[in-house]
Amino acid sequence: ANAKANAEKNLQNARTLFESHLQSVFTQRGPGWVEKRLDALAKFSQGIQIGLSDQSNAPAKGWVRFIRIIDYTQGTDDIRYVQDPGCRYWADKSDIVMVRYGTPGLVGRGIEGVIANNLFKISILDGSLTNDFLAYFLGQQTVQNYLSSQGSSTMPALTFTQLGAVMVFFPHEMEEQKEIATKLDSLREETQRLARLYERKLAALEALKKSLLHQAFSGEL
C-alpha cells in the first residue's frame, strides 16, 4: 500500500511537472515579447457535419479520414472515413485543431483529415507565430480554464468571438519561438515517459497485491 501510494504521488508529480513549467514559460516573459489578440493573428474555420450513415469504417478511393472529438480525447480505434468534401475542411498533422463543444478549448494535433463540425481549425495569418508555439500557448492551464468556462452549463460551447479575444504573448523573433517549442517538446516527452513508468509500476504492484492475497487465502503462504 505504501509503495502504491508513493507511485501514485510520483505519477501525479510527473503529470503536473510539465504543466508547471509550461505555465512558467508564459508568465516569466523576457524582453522582445509582444501581445496581440488571437483574432488579429489567426483565422478560425469550422469543420463539416456528416451523418453517421455517410461515414465508413473502411477507406476507399476518394474517401478521407474523418476527425472527431473522440479521436483527440480517447485515441479511439474506431477510425471513420468520408467522401472528400474539399480542402476547406482539411487539417494537416501540424495544424491546430480546437474542440468547440463539450470540452471547449481542448487542442488537438497530429491527425490528418477532414474535421467534424464540432471542431475548428486555427490558421495563423501573417507568419508571426509558429503552430507549435501557439499550440503550447493555448494549451496552458490559464487559457484552458478561460476557454472551458465559455458557453452555458447545459451545452458548453466556444464561439469564435470568445476565442478571438484571447490575448497571446509571444517572442517577436521566430527562432526564439522555435527554441521554446523544442524545449517543451523534450520536457513533455520525458514527463510522459515518467508517467508511463509509474503507470506500469502501479499495475505491477496491484498484480503483486492480488497474488499475495490469493496465496494468503488459499493457504499457500
Residue 134 near residue 141 (C-beta atoms within 8 A): no
Please state the pTM of the whole predicted model.
0.82
> Is there a contact between 98 and 123 (Cβ–Cβ < 8 Å)?
no
Q: Other CB atoms closer than 10 Å to residue 74's CB: what's the count?
A: 10
Q: Which of these ranges, 72-86, 146-160, 192-206, has the smallest mean pLDDT?
A: 146-160
Q: What is the mean pLDDT of the chain?
A: 89
- Mean pLDDT, residues 7-16 taken together: 81
What pLDDT, on a 0 to 100 scale, did the predictor assign at position 120? Answer: 94
Inter-helix orientation angle 141-148/131-139, to 10°: 70
**What is the percentage of the chain residues whose pLDDT exceeds 70?**
96
Strand order in the sheet with 42-46: 42-46, 119-124, 96-99, 107-108
**Band of pLDDT at residue 219, cut at 50, 70 and 90:** low
3-class SS shares of the chain: helix, strand, coil, % to 5: 50, 20, 30
Among 98, 93, 156, 143, residue whose Cα is nearest residue 122: 98
Quickly state the pLDDT bin for 152 (edges 50, 70, 90). low
Q: Is the pLDDT of residue 206 over 90?
A: no
Could you tell me the three cell numbers for 152? 452555458
Helices within the chain (DSSP H only): 2-27, 69-73, 131-139, 141-148, 160-164, 174-217
Cell 496465496: give the residue. 215
Q: In the structure, what pLDDT confidence band is assigned to residue 97 with cuts at 50, 70 and 90?
A: very high
Predicted pLDDT at 221? 57
Mean pLDDT of 65-90: 91
